[in-house]
A = this chain, B = another copy of it.
Amino acid sequence: MGKVTLKQLAEQLGLSVATISRALHDSYEINVETKKKIKQLAQELNYQPNPFASSLRQHKSKTIALIIPDISNHFFSLVIKGVERIASDKNYHILIYNTHESYLKEQSITKHLISGRVDGVLISPSLETSNLEHLQEIMNRNIPLILFDRVFDDLETIKIVSNDYESSYQATEHLIHSGCKKIVFLLIAQNLSITSKRLLGYKDALVKNGLGVDENLVIALTNNDEHNFKMVHQLMVDQKPDAIFASVEHLAIMSYDVCKSLGIAIPHDVKVLGYSNLNVARHLNPALTTISQSAQEMGELAANLIIQQIEGKELDIITSHLEIKSHLIIRASTL
C-alpha cells in the first residue's frame, strides 16, 4: 500500500533504477524481454511515477495555469471546458485560478507561478488590470503566456480574441436596419480591449449609416448591479432610446429587468441585443438576440498553442492576434 517507487521495482527484479526508468520510457536500448517484464510488474503493482521528482529533475511539470476573472461566468466556463479537453488529450494538467476581477488577486497568483510550478500560463486579465509588470515578469522567466478574450497590445505574446469590432458593427447595423435610430450602448470597464473594440464597431456602424454618435447614449457601468440598474432606469426615462446594445451578458439581463419595472415592452418599445453565450437565450421573454462567442473553441485554441509553445515549436504568430468568429443570432428581442 505504501507508494511504489522505481527503487522497489528495481529491487524486486534485481535490476538498477536506471534500467527501470528507461524501460518505462520505452527506451530503445533496453532488451525487449526485460522491458516486458518491467512493464508487467509496474502494471501489477500499479506503479505511478512521482511527478514531483520528475518535475524537479526535468524542470517541467506538464501543467498549465488557467487564470480567469470570473469562473462562474458561462463564457469562461466554456473556455475552461475547451482548455481541459485539449490539455487532457495531451496529458497536461490544469491549475485553475479565479481573480474575481481583482488586480491584487491576479498579482498574487502570478507571483506564485514564477516558481516554475507551471510550464505555461493562459490568462484573461481582470477588469482592474492595467499595469502589466506581473505578466511581463512571467514572460521574462521564459514561461510561455497567452492572453485570451481580453488582451493588451503592449505584451509581446500570442493573443486570442473574438472578432469584436466586426460583430459589434454587424449587430449595430442589424438594429439600424430594424429601424432603430437611438441606440444605447452599455459597457463595463472602458479600459478593456474587448470593450473598446466593441464600442468602436458600434460607433463606426452608426456613422457609416448616417446616424451620428450621441455620447449621452454610451453608458459606462460598474460591477455594482444596483447602481447599474439605477443608471439604466434613469436613462430609459430621460432618453427614451429605441434600442439597447449590451456589451456584456449581464447588462442585457439587467436591461430586461429595467424594462419590466418600467412597463416598457421588448421589442415593441425598445429592442435589446447583447453579447451572450446563454443557451437559454431562446427561451427568454422575449427570446434575446445575441452575439455568441465560440468560447470553447477559444479555449481549445489557447490550450493547443500554449502546449506547442511549451514543447518548443517555434510559432511565427507570436505577435499576431488570432481571431475567432462570433455569431449574431437574431431572435424576438430585436424583431
Contacts and interface: CB of A to CB of B under 8 A. Distances in A.
A319 interface: no
A95 B72 CA distance: 16
Contact of A85 (B66, B98, B114): B98
Given A117-B51, A285-B286, A96 B80 contact: yes
A116 B280 contact: no
**Which 3 A/B pairs are nearest by Cβ-Cβ distance?**
A285-B285, A48-B115, A52-B56
Given A285-B286, A285-B287, A112 B48 contact: yes
B55 A52 contact: yes
Contact of A115 (B50, B81, B284): B50
Contacts of A137: 46
A111 interface: yes
Interface string A85-119: 10010000111111000000100000110111100
A288 B238 CA distance: 32
17 contacts: A3-B141, A48-B112, A50-B56, A51-B115, A52-B52, A52-B53, A52-B56, A66-B96, A72-B77, A72-B78, A72-B80, A74-B74, A77-B80, A280-B284, A283-B284, A284-B285, A285-B286
A221 interface: no
B98 A84 contact: yes
A207 interface: no
Interface of A: 1, 3, 46, 48-53, 55-56, 61, 63, 66, 71-72, 74, 77-78, 80-81, 84-85, 88, 93-98, 105, 111-112, 114-117, 137, 140-141, 253, 256, 278-280, 283-287, 296
The oligomer's copy count stands at 2
A96 B84 contact: yes
Contact of A141 (B1, B63, B278, B283): B1
Contacts of A112: 48
A96 to B, nearest CB: 5
Contacts of A53: 52, 56
Given A1-B140, A77-B74, A46 B114 contact: yes
A159 B256 CA distance: 39
A159 B97 CA distance: 25
A20 B70 CA distance: 38
A259 to B, nearest CB: 11
Contacts of A256: 283
Contacts of A1: 140-141
